[in-house]
A and B are shown apart, each in its own frame.
Chain A
Amino acid sequence: MADSYLDNNATTAVDPAVVEVMLPFFTEQFGNPSSMHSFGNKVGHALKKARKQIQALLGAEHDSEIIFTSCGTESDSTAILSALKAQPDRKEIITTTVEHPAVLTLCEYLEKDGYTVHYLKVDEKGRLDLDEYKSLLSDEVAIVSVMWANNETGTLFPVEEMAELANAAGVMFHTDAVQAVGKLPIDLKNSKIHMLSVSGHKLHAPKGVGVLYLRRGTRFRPLLRGGHQERGRRAGTENATSIIGLGKAAELAMEHMEYENTQVKAMRDRLEEGILAAVPNTFITGDVDNRLPNTANIAFEYIEGEAILMLLSKAGIAASSGSACTSGSLEPSHVMRAMGIPYTAAHGTIRFSLSRYNTMEDVEKVIEAVPPIMTQLRKLSPYWGEDGPVEDPEKAFAPTYA
């Protein structure tokens, strides 16, 4: 049996139908869409179609609200830096402790430049306190940037409600929606969201293309200035082939939206149920009743994630982990820490993220492979006894030398 890929929140396979629409634009349709001849003209028309397809997926009112970028990170940086540049008197930013590094690292960098960043805390299920949020909204705030869905746990934030609140307070609202777009129905025209980031490769389009949705009338300062591409809001020759692929991927995501929220969700639920029934000292992290349909984040206590991933990989299963070791840092995932997940579990969190390409066979294979792996590693663990954790593990094994 071929390897099973359950790491779709990291990246996805490009849909064959997407590859097919892209191919001619590498060869005979190579023109620059800005050119005044037939070579350029055809590409220009194809980009226009792609823009419409994205507009439809996001439920945007105008296709001119779609700006193509190189990736989700560029969209995030463009949005936040634009808000600061356009409103030089406002020196505060509101975001959350569990954002993707694309936002978090930028915010930490901006703090060094004198900006004040408010990081909204989350509870043990990864939920925000909206009262804390409301109390921070003021005319000092340049922008609120809050993710739609968390990449590690799939937990959803009430971004539509938060955008309403920001808008009422006269504050711009941006959401990093790279995990949500294509998995959840989105209707931007009936929201107060000013800016939204999309990443192509999370929804079966290629890597190297993203979108920044920019609500008409939102004050904007480009990150890249130069040519007139994207109406002067993002200079640089268009990545035409990938944009065309992203358009097709958006169309396919619309077609599969119901499948994602029924069949894919059913696979995810079966996976969690099967693993939890077979492996003791295991729990689901995040807001179980309010999350993406494809994401399962499971904490296996007293064992370390990278070791789990290596054994899963040997069994032909691809997933990812919030352990410190997988990233080479000393701390486990900031998302797990923000939720107060104890270290004994945070290092052993494994994320399985599915897509429409997975099958129930994949799921059953994982359910079968996981229990012996956990038994094998727990046998090696100084925190695990004969058939359960040692009594009061953090005290029983607490080396004096760290």
Chain B
Amino acid sequence: MWDYSETVKEHFFNPKNAGAVENSNATGEVGSISCGDALRLTLKVDPETEVIINAGFQTFGCGSAIASSSALTEIIKGMTLDESLNVSNQDIADYLEGLPPEKMHCSVMGREALQAAVADYRGEVWTDDHEEGALICKCFAVDAVMIEDTIRANGLTSVEDVTNYTKAGGGCSSCHEGIEEILAKVMEEQGETFTAPAIAAEAAPTSTMTNLQRIRRIEMVLDSIRPTLQADKGDVELVEVDGNTIYVNMTGACSGCQQASMTIGGIQQRMMEDLGEFIKVVPASQMPKQAKAGA
């Protein structure tokens, strides 16, 4: 069973603006029966002001499709056409207090129906900008078509690449097999062979910096974080760099602070983003004795 919010349930059980609007002057139709989602949006627009006076929907679809349609009509009533075009699918989802990742496409369908209806009113032709595929990454709601297109457009060759470009696979990592399958398929089309590392993502440093340059860079990253720490009466000091491991001392208010481990996590994230490699930031107190002696 889906974990629908109370608002989704309310809009499903008691939908607002169901049915076609009488004397409507704009219609948007999206979806398809094969996917199990189809929506017709009808609007009555004031020709003088372009204000949406009335909106109605007819939807073939699941609970969240009906709720999204209902929410959409509530949101746009009273808006001008231009204002309504600023309504994003996230606005629809937010109005409903969130949708499960598998169901975000219902809110996308709502937004597309609106765009189609506005285009219809203005005598324009609206074009759908994406095709939808099977959901691969549930953490970040990324589908197969999106992953495939991104791999193709950017010549991606690893799961890590895909995560960096699309976020897919960056959460629980259960979908890595699915991502590898897509990589293998696309790369084969291009005459390449996908090979995966035996152990995931602890890629060797690719930087061409000398040790000294690298340490200076690390210092620079710490300097950029320092003002934030000092604002809280704390500080950080670089103690040692050993391969991918960076040892630091949290000083001042930061030492012994309950948030210290979170702060270290934040520093680690910044380091990885800046240096473009896997970095582990560790309190100097956990440094092996040998390293401390400078061996």
Question: Given the known A-B contacts A343-B33, A401-B128, are A329 and B62 also in contact in the complex, defined by CB atoms under 8 Å?
Answer: no
Q: Which residues of chain A have C-beta atoms less than 8 A from B58's C-beta?
A: 380-382
8 Å CB interface, B7-41 against A: 9, 12-13, 15, 18-19, 29-40
Q: Which residues of chain A have C-beta atoms less than 8 A from B29's C-beta?
A: 382, 397, 399-401
Contact B61 A314 (CB under 8 A): no
Closest 7 CB pairs of A and B: A325-B62, A328-B102, A306-B62, A399-B29, A382-B58, A347-B36, A401-B128
For A325, the closest partner residue in chain B by CB is B62
Q: Which residues of chain B have C-beta atoms less than 8 A from A381's C-beta?
A: 58-60
Contact B32 A324 (CB under 8 A): no
Specify which of B35, B36, B59, B116 lies most central, judged by the most chain A CB atoms within 10 Å of its CB.
B36
Per-residue contact bits, chain A 303-343, to B (CB 8 Å; 1 contact, 0 not): 11111001100100000000111101111100000000001
Q: Which residues of chain B have C-beta atoms less than 8 A from A328's C-beta?
A: 102-103, 135
Contact A380 B15 (CB under 8 A): yes
CB distance from B44 to the nearest CB of A (A): 18
Question: Given the known A-B contacts A304-B61, A304-B62, A330-B134, are A397 and B116 also in contact in the complex, defined by CB atoms under 8 Å?
Answer: no
Q: How large is the interface on A (under 10, 10 to 19, 20 to 34, 35 or more residues)?
A: 20 to 34
Contact A402 B66 (CB under 8 A): no
Docked complex Cα distance between A381 and B38 (Å): 9
Cross-interface CB contact of B36 among A314, A325, A398, A399, cutoff 8 Å: A325
Contact B128 A402 (CB under 8 A): yes
Question: Given the known A-B contacts A304-B62, A304-B65, are A382 and B102 also in contact in the complex, defined by CB atoms under 8 Å?
Answer: no
CB distance from A343 to the nearest CB of B (A): 5
Contact B38 A380 (CB under 8 A): no
Contact B30 A401 (CB under 8 A): yes
* In the complex, B112 has a CB within 8 A of chain A: yes
Contact B116 A304 (CB under 8 A): no
8 Å CB interface, A326-378 against B: 326, 328-332, 343-344, 347
CB distance from A326 to the nearest CB of B (A): 8
Docked complex Cα distance between A328 and B9 (Å): 18
Cross-interface CB contact of B62 among A323, A343, A344, A379, cutoff 8 Å: A323
For A323, the closest partner residue in chain B by CB is B36
Q: Which residues of chain B have C-beta atoms less than 8 A from A401's C-beta?
A: 29-31, 112, 116, 126-128
Docked complex Cα distance between A14 and B56 (Å): 47
Question: Given the known A-B contacts A401-B112, A402-B128, are A307 and B66 also in contact in the complex, defined by CB atoms under 8 Å?
Answer: yes
Docked complex Cα distance between A369 and B35 (Å): 27
Contact B132 A306 (CB under 8 A): no
Docked complex Cα distance between A329 and B36 (Å): 10
Question: Given the known A-B contacts A379-B18, A380-B66, are A302 and B60 also in contact in the complex, defined by CB atoms under 8 Å?
Answer: yes
Q: Which residues of chain B have C-beta atoms less than 8 A from A304's C-beta?
A: 36-37, 60-62, 65
Q: Which residues of chain A have C-beta atoms less than 8 A from B112's C-beta?
A: 401
Per-residue contact bits, chain B 198-229, to A (CB 8 Å; 1 contact, 0 not): 00000000000000000000000000000000
* In the complex, A383 has a CB within 8 A of chain B: yes
For B40, the closest partner residue in chain A by CB is A382
Contact B59 A380 (CB under 8 A): yes
Q: Which residues of chain B have C-beta atoms less than 8 A from A311's C-beta?
A: 13
CB distance from A30 to the nearest CB of B (A): 34
* In the complex, B63 has a CB within 8 A of chain A: yes
Contact A307 B63 (CB under 8 A): yes
Q: Which residues of chain A have C-beta atoms less than 8 A from B40's C-beta?
A: 382, 397, 399
* In the complex, A394 has a CB within 8 A of chain B: yes
Question: Given the known A-B contacts A324-B35, A328-B102, are A307 and B18 also in contact in the complex, defined by CB atoms under 8 Å?
Answer: no
For B105, the closest partner residue in chain A by CB is A330
Q: Which residues of chain B have C-beta atoms less than 8 A from A330's C-beta?
A: 35-36, 132-134
Docked complex Cα distance between A344 and B133 (Å): 20
CB distance from B40 to the nearest CB of A (A): 4
CB distance from A319 to the nearest CB of B (A): 12
Docked complex Cα distance between A305 and B61 (Å): 8
Per-residue contact bits, chain A 237-277, to B (CB 8 Å; 1 contact, 0 not): 00000000000000000000000000000000000000000
